[in-house]
Amino acid sequence: MQGSVRQRGAQWSYRIDLGDDPTTGRRRQLERGGFATKRMAQKALREALTELDRGEFVEASAKPLAEYLGEWLKGERLRLRPGAFDATKGHVDSYIAPRLGHVTLKALTRPMVRGFYADLREAGRVRGGGPLSAKTVYNVHRTLSRALEAAVEDRLIPRNPAKRGFSAPDSPVQATWTARQLREFLEGMTDDRLYALWRVAVTTGLRRGELAGLRWNDVQLEAGRLAVVQQLAKGAGTVSAGPTKTKRSRRPVPLDARTVEALRAHRARQDDERATWGEAYDPHGLVFCLENGTPLHPDAVTKRLRRHARRLGLPWIGLHGLRHSYATLLLEAGVHPKIVQERLGHSSITVTMDIYSHVIPSLQGEAADLGAALVDGDEPLEADEAMDLDNDHSTDEPKEGEAA
CB atoms closer than 10 angstroms to residue 153? 10
In tens, the pLDDT along 254-282 reads 999 999 999 999 999 999 999 999 999 99
207 is catalytic: yes
In tens, the pLDDT along 23-77 reads 777 877 777 887 889 998 889 888 888 877 777 667 778 899 999 999 999 999 9
CA distance 249 to 213: 13
18 shares its domain with 84: no
For residue 197, CA distances in Å to 112, 186, 209, 210, 373 come to 49, 10, 12, 11, 43
71 shares its domain with 107: yes
Torsion angles phi and psi, residue 136, rounded to 5: -65, -40
Higher-pLDDT residue of 15, 371: 15
356 is catalytic: yes
Q: What percent of the chain has pLDDT over 90?
A: 54
251 shares its domain with 138: no
Nearest alpha-carbon partner for 158 in 4, 48, 65? 48
Catalytic residue among 81, 99, 193, 320: 320
pLDDT at 398: 40
In tens, the pLDDT along 155-210 reads 899 889 998 767 766 666 778 999 999 999 999 999 999 999 999 999 999 999 99
What letter represents residue 352's amino acid?
T
Q: How many domains does the chain have?
A: 4
Mean local confidence (pLDDT), 216-220? 97
pLDDT at 20: 74
- Bridging pattern class, strands 2-8 and 27-35: unpaired
317 shares its domain with 230: yes
33 shares its domain with 148: no
- The reply to whether 365 falls in a domain is yes
- The reply to whether 185 falls in a domain is yes
DSSP 317-334: -HHHHHHHHHHHHHHHTT
107 shares its domain with 130: yes
Catalytic residue among 141, 207, 245, 251: 207
CB atoms closer than 10 angstroms to residue 209? 24
Position 364 confidence tier, pLDDT thresholds 50, 70, 90: low
pLDDT at 81: 82
89 shares its domain with 224: no
- The reply to whether 173 falls in a domain is no
- The reply to whether 399 falls in a domain is no
Position 394 confidence tier, pLDDT thresholds 50, 70, 90: very low
**Is 2 in contact with 15 (CB distance < 8 Å)?**
no
CA distance 282 to 274: 9
183 shares its domain with 143: no
CATH number of the structural domain spanning residue 252? 1.10.443.10
Catalytic residue among 141, 199, 343, 346: 346
Mean local confidence (pLDDT), 301-316? 96
Instruction: Find residue 2's DSSP bridge partners.
Output: 17
- The reply to whether 393 falls in a domain is no
**Is 244 in contact with 252 (CB distance < 8 Å)?**
no
Q: What is the pTM for the complete model shown?
A: 0.67
Q: E-strand spans in 21-152? A: 27-35
Catalytic residue among 14, 117, 326, 356: 356
pLDDT at 311: 96
346 is catalytic: yes
- The reply to whether 24 falls in a domain is yes
**Average pLDDT, rounded, for the chain:** 86
263 shares its domain with 337: no
Catalytic residue among 32, 141, 323, 343: 323
Strand, coil or helix: what is 251? strand
- The reply to whether 72 falls in a domain is yes
84 shares its domain with 112: yes
Q: Which domain holds residue 44?
A: 2-54
228 shares its domain with 317: yes
pLDDT at 151: 94
Catalytic residue among 114, 234, 274, 284: 234
CA distance 233 to 264: 26
- Bridging pattern class, strands 219-220 and 231-235: unpaired
Contacts of residue 122, defined as CB under 8 A and 6 or more positions apart, other chains included, come to 131
Position 378 confidence tier, pLDDT thresholds 50, 70, 90: low
264 shares its domain with 356: no
CATH number of the structural domain spanning residue 80? 1.10.150
- The reply to whether 165 falls in a domain is no
